[in-house]
């Protein structure tokens, strides 16, 4: 996907990519690869000439663009160089819609990442601890992550408005992440599997006074399941309200995860 709506900038970017990969690569070589005379390519780059829709297709395919990129590149060309004003306006509108759709897709992907990877919520809660430091290395050491992952996660949380930087520290905004789009089941499954993996590690490496892992096995009627779920949800709400109130009163010491698993054992 392109970061610009100017096809000339796309061409310049592709030329730069190839020059970085091969120091002997040149504008002449690029012109040859996209099937244009070098002088014509120079004129196009300098905005002294345009290209036709047909030529745009040829160039896009020569550069191995995806179907979506071909469509977008050709729309850029039409928006800039189409002969009639109406064609240019239609192409410009189409281009705007394509970029808007891409932005929405990116936003959904960002939300999916936050929901599906455990460390995003852990970082949010870590900001409510007494010793919190707005430092990638410190956060990474506290959560057992690498610094690059922490940097990416924090940037994502800020983009989504879940974190904000104030006076050189990070503050949780408590913004609701869930929208009308709902939560993809795949994201929830991935998150739950990660939490179960963290619980297994805690069993082996945390002292019993640092963790509490209990199990209740019981026979139950199908008709009582809804009531059982309700009791679990009520308990969650009660714990969440209590913990939230405590955080309002003072900074905390640690970040914990409370998780429940309730599932059928018999076939």
Work out the angle at residue 59's Cα, subtended by the Cα atoms of residues 31 and 98, and round it to the nearest 5 degrees.
Answer: 135
Q: What pLDDT is stored for residue 162 in this prediction? A: 87
Which tens digit of pLDDT belongs to each residue from 62-90?
999 988 899 999 999 999 999 999 999 99
Looking at the 3D structure of the chain, how many domains does it have?
A: 2
Same domain, 67 and 131: no
Which backbone phi and psi does 34 adopt, to 5 degrees? -100, 10
Q: What is the DSSP letter of 186?
A: H
Highest-pLDDT range among 14-23, 172-181, 198-207? 198-207
Same domain, 131 and 91: no
Q: Please report whether residue 157 resides in a domain.
A: yes
pLDDT at 185 over 80: no
Same domain, 122 and 91: no
Which backbone phi and psi does 99 adopt, to 5 degrees? -65, -40
Q: Which residues pair with 179 in a beta bridge?
A: none
Same domain, 75 and 158: no
Same domain, 121 and 233: yes
Q: Please report whether residue 132 resides in a domain.
A: yes
Same domain, 211 and 136: yes
Same domain, 101 and 32: yes
Same domain, 125 and 245: yes
Same domain, 133 and 48: no
Which tens digit of pLDDT belongs to each residue from 224-253?
999 999 999 889 889 988 998 888 888 999
Which backbone phi and psi does 173 adopt, to 5 degrees? -90, -15
d(C-alpha 76, C-alpha 56), whole Å: 9
Q: What pLDDT is stored for residue 115 in this prediction? A: 74
Q: What pLDDT is stored for residue 107 in this prediction? A: 65
Q: What pLDDT is stored for residue 180 in this prediction? A: 44
Domain boundary among 54, 77, 105: 105
46: CATH: 1.10.260
pLDDT at 197 over 50: yes
Between 132 and 97, residue with greater pLDDT: 132
The whole domain housing 245 covers 117-249
pTM: 0.61
pLDDT at 184 over 90: no
Q: Average pLDDT in the 20-24 region? A: 86
Termini Cα distance of the chain: 47
Q: Please report whether residue 210 resides in a domain.
A: yes
Q: How far is CA 127 from CA 131, 134, 149, 152, 202, in A?
A: 9, 8, 17, 16, 22
Same domain, 125 and 93: no
**252 by DSSP, 3-state: which?**
strand
Residue written as token pair 């590149």:
73
Which tens digit of pLDDT belongs to each residue from 95-117?
888 887 777 666 666 777 777 88
| Mean of the per-residue pLDDT values of the chain | 89
Q: Please report whether residue 255 resides in a domain.
A: no
């Amino acid at each position: 996907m392109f970061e610009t709506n100017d096809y000339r900038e796309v061409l310049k970017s592709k030329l730069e990519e190839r020059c970085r990969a091969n120091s002997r690569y040149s504008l002449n070589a690029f012109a040859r690869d996209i099937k244009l005379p070098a002088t014509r390519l120079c004129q196009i780059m300098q905005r002294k000439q345009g290209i036709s829709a047909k030529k745009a297709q040829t160039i896009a395919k020569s550069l191995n663009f995806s179907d979506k990129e071909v469509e977008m590149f050709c729309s850029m060309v039409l928006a800039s160089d189409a002969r009639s004003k109406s064609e240019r306006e239609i192409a410009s509108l189409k281009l705007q819609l394509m970029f808007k759709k891409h932005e929405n897709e990116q936003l959904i992907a960002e939300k999916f990442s936050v929901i599906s990877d455990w460390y995003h919520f852990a970082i949010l809660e870590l900001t409510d601890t007494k010793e919190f430091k707005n430092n990638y290395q410190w956060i990474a050491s506290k959560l057992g992550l690498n610094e690059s992952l922490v940097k990416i996660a924090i940037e994502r949380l800020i983009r989504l408005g879940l974190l904000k930087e104030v006076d050189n520290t990070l503050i949780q905004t408590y913004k609701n992440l869930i929208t009308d789009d709902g939560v993809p089941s795949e994201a929830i499954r991935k998150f739950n599997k990660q939490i179960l993996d963290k619980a297994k590690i805690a069993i082996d490496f945390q002292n019993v006074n640092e963790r509490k892992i209990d199990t209740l096995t019981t026979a139950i009627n199908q008709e009582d399941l809804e009531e059982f779920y309700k009791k679990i949800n009520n308990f969650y709400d009660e714990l969440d309200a209590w913990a939230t109130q405590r955080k309002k009163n003072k900074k905390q010491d640690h970040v914990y995860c409370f998780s429940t698993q309730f599932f059928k054992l018999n076939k």
